[in-house]
Structure 1
Amino acid sequence: MANRALLVMDVQRDIVSIADDGSGYLPRLGRAIDGARAAGIPVIYVVIALRPGDPEVSPRNRVLTAAVRAGLFTEGAPGTEIHHDVAPRQGDVVVTKRRGSAFSGSDFDLVLRARDIDSLVLTGIATSGVVLSTLCHAIDLDFDLTVLADACLDTDPEVHRLLTEKLFPQWADVVTVEDWLKTLAPR
Structure 2
Amino acid sequence: MDARSCAVLALHWQVNVIEPEGFFGPMLAEPVARSGVVARATRFHAAAAEAGATLVFTRFTIPEDEGELVRNTGFMQAVGESQESFRPAAPGAALIEQMADQPNLVVDNQKLSGLAGNDLPARLRDRGIDSLLITGVATNLTVEQTARHATDLGFHVQVVRDCAAAADEQTHEASLANLALTTAGCPTATEALHWLSGGETPA
TM (norm. structure 1) is 0.89
Contact 1:146 1:172 (C-alpha < 8 Å) held by counterparts = yes
Q: How does 1:61-100 map to 2 (within 5 A)?
A: 61-70=73-82, 72-89=85-102, 92-100=104-112
> 1:127 Cα deviation (Å)?
0.8
1:167 aligns with 2:169: no
> 1:158 Cα deviation (Å)?
1.4
Contact 2:11 2:143 (C-alpha < 8 Å) held by counterparts = yes
Contact 1:7 1:121 (C-alpha < 8 Å) held by counterparts = yes
- Superposition RMSD on alpha carbons, in Å? 2.0
SS in 1 for 2:121: helix
Letter in 2 for 1:81: A
What are the ranges of 5 or more consecutive residues in structure 1 without an aligned counterpart?
none
Contact 1:45 1:88 (C-alpha < 8 Å) held by counterparts = no
Letter in 2 for 1:16: I
Q: Which deviates more, 51-60 or 138-147?
A: 51-60
SS in 1 for 2:106: strand
Where does residue 135 of structure 1 map in the other structure?
Answer: 147
Letter in 1 for 2:107: V
> 1:118 Cα deviation (Å)?
0.5
Specify whether residues 162 and 5 from structure 1 end up closer, same or farther in structure 2 by C-alpha distance, changes over 3 A only: same
Q: 1:60 aligns with which of 72, 87, 94?
A: 72
Question: Percent sequence identity over matched residues?
Answer: 26
> 1:70 Cα deviation (Å)?
4.5
Q: Structure 1, residues 8-37: CA drift from partner, whole Å, max 9, x if none?
A: 111101100222232211110011111111
Where does residue 116 of structure 2 map in the other structure?
Answer: 104
Q: 2:12 aligns with which of 10, 13, 17?
A: 10
> 1:61 Cα deviation (Å)?
2.9
Whole-Å separation in 1 of the counterparts to 2:170 and 2:186: 16
Specify whether residues 179 and 155 from structure 1 end up closer, same or farther in structure 2 by C-alpha distance, changes over 3 A only: same
> 1:175 Cα deviation (Å)?
1.3
More helix by percentage: 2
SS in 2 for 1:6: strand
Number of residue-to-residue matches in the alignment: 185
Specify whether residues 144 and 58 from structure 1 end up closer, same or farther in structure 2 by C-alpha distance, changes over 3 A only: closer
Letter in 2 for 1:169: A
Whole-Å separation in 2 of the counterparts to 1:185 and 1:55: 39
Contact 1:127 1:153 (C-alpha < 8 Å) held by counterparts = yes
> 1:46 Cα deviation (Å)?
0.9
Whole-Å separation in 2 of the counterparts to 1:184 and 1:172: 15
TM (norm. structure 2) is 0.83
Where does residue 158 of structure 1 map in the other structure?
Answer: 170
Q: 1:119 aligns with which of 109, 119, 131?
A: 131
